[in-house]
Amino acid sequence: MHRAALADEARPELIEHAIKKGEGVLAANGAFTVLTGKYTGRSPEDKFFVKEGESANDIDWGKVNKPFDPDRFGSGLGAVLLAAAVDRLRAAGYRRATLWALRENTRARHFYEREGWRTDGTTKPHPFDGHVAVDVRYHLVLDTGP
């Protein structure tokens, strides 16, 4: 059996798919609603920021906002984590993966390209911190079978 992720579908199609799978319902006002259970949102201890330059003084460092040493870039940890995520997608039966990277984040984009991800040229602008940021779409083929 072949599983596929719903990538870049329009919002109504995504909502319809989720309702058919029993993942949520439409509220009286038309909003898609889900019960998330006991654990919601992000882990409170998973926010890492590079501690350098001006930002070092602008972030409330502590249990939630943890510093990441810029000397650790290039250590290979990112490649190990990305490979583990790709392996899990393959094991789950996905045939293709999609991710978005900030256009200006050339370090991240070069990293993904070195790991075999390819952009198709699609971009997506969105408001961010008072300006418009642009994401670039990348794909990775996970299964070359029929």
- Residues 6 or more apart whose Cβ sits within 8 Å of residue 71: none
Per-domain residue ranges of the chain: 1-41, 43-73, 74-146
d(CA 57, CA 116): 36
User: Locate tokens 């989720």: which residue?
Assistant: 18
Q: Give, for all 146 residues of the chain, the pLDDT tens digit.
A: 334 555 555 667 777 877 887 777 887 777 777 776 666 666 666 677 788 777 788 888 888 788 888 888 788 888 998 999 999 888 888 888 999 999 998 989 999 999 999 999 999 898 877 888 899 999 999 986 66
In words, the CATH class of domain 74-146 is: alpha beta
Predicted pLDDT of residue 42: 60
- Residues 6 or more apart whose Cβ sits within 8 Å of residue 37: none
